[in-house]
Structure 1
């Protein structure tokens, strides 16, 4: 049975694609024993410098639980340092030297995953994907 285009759930379509994309990045990052969510957190802290979990949530548009799950092993394994924040409830997060080293090591597999995905979606489609993502995110505000 053929579905009408208007009957196709856009959330389902995007989530299916997201699961495949996530698996591609996770496969490339697996030798470093990190997942794409953890790499994204490392990258955010690398770019933001000292930051907070709330700032990471806002920057990456991630749920608090997802950020916490990504942070926990990175803190446990000594990649992220936690120190006193601006107030008692807030903790300041920064990369340790080991965290910076891991982030730098992850660059090559991340770039390989990027190249793989760009090849998969086809020339010029990456620009369309980026623009579509920007439109969707802008609609959240």
Structure 2
């Protein structure tokens, strides 16, 4: 009988993702958003205006996941959707309330970032960024 489970990259990444996501979600929950929504706000803030496809590419998310993250942010008035040159083209921009929420989120985001970096140490934190980029390039 086997007692040892063969290492699985997917399981290892998912386990780490759950812990990391929970650390950010715990901090961001005081503002009523989740880490996926913060990531959407962050990309739009940097780009000034973005399409859903931009979000999919920058966040390595599938379209349904992006839609789920966007829905409450649009509903609550944090993101404005405007039509582009044709009816299919839609642009997403932060409203003043969305920009304010994003700015407020930076404090708990930074706390989660610092907590994890302190636990991992600078070398492991840097290695994690490098490994993440390497993994993302597998699908690009």
Q: TM-score range by the shorter chain?
A: over 0.9
After superposition, the C-alpha distances for 1:47-89 in whole angstroms (9 at most, x for unaligned) are: 0111111111111111111110110000000000011123211
Question: What is the RMSD of the two structures over their aligned residues, measured on CA atoms?
Answer: 1.0
TM-superposed CA distance for 1:122, in Å, is 2.5
Q: Distance in 2 between matches of 1:120 and 1:17?
A: 13
The answer as to 2:107 corresponding to 1:112 is no
Gaps of at least 5 residues in structure 1 are none
Figure out how many residues of one structure are paired with residues of the other and give that number.
138
Q: Distance in 2 between matches of 1:2 and 1:68?
A: 40
Q: Distance in 1 between matches of 2:73 and 2:86?
A: 23
TM-score, normalization by structure 1 = 0.94
Gaps of at least 5 residues in structure 2 are none
The residue aligned with 1:123 is: 122
After superposition, the C-alpha distances for 1:1-47 in whole angstroms (9 at most, x for unaligned) are: 344xxx21110110011011000000000000000000000000000
SS of alignment partner, residue 124 of structure 1? helix
Q: Distance in 1 between matches of 2:98 and 2:64?
A: 21
Runs of 4+ in structure 1 over 2 Å off: none
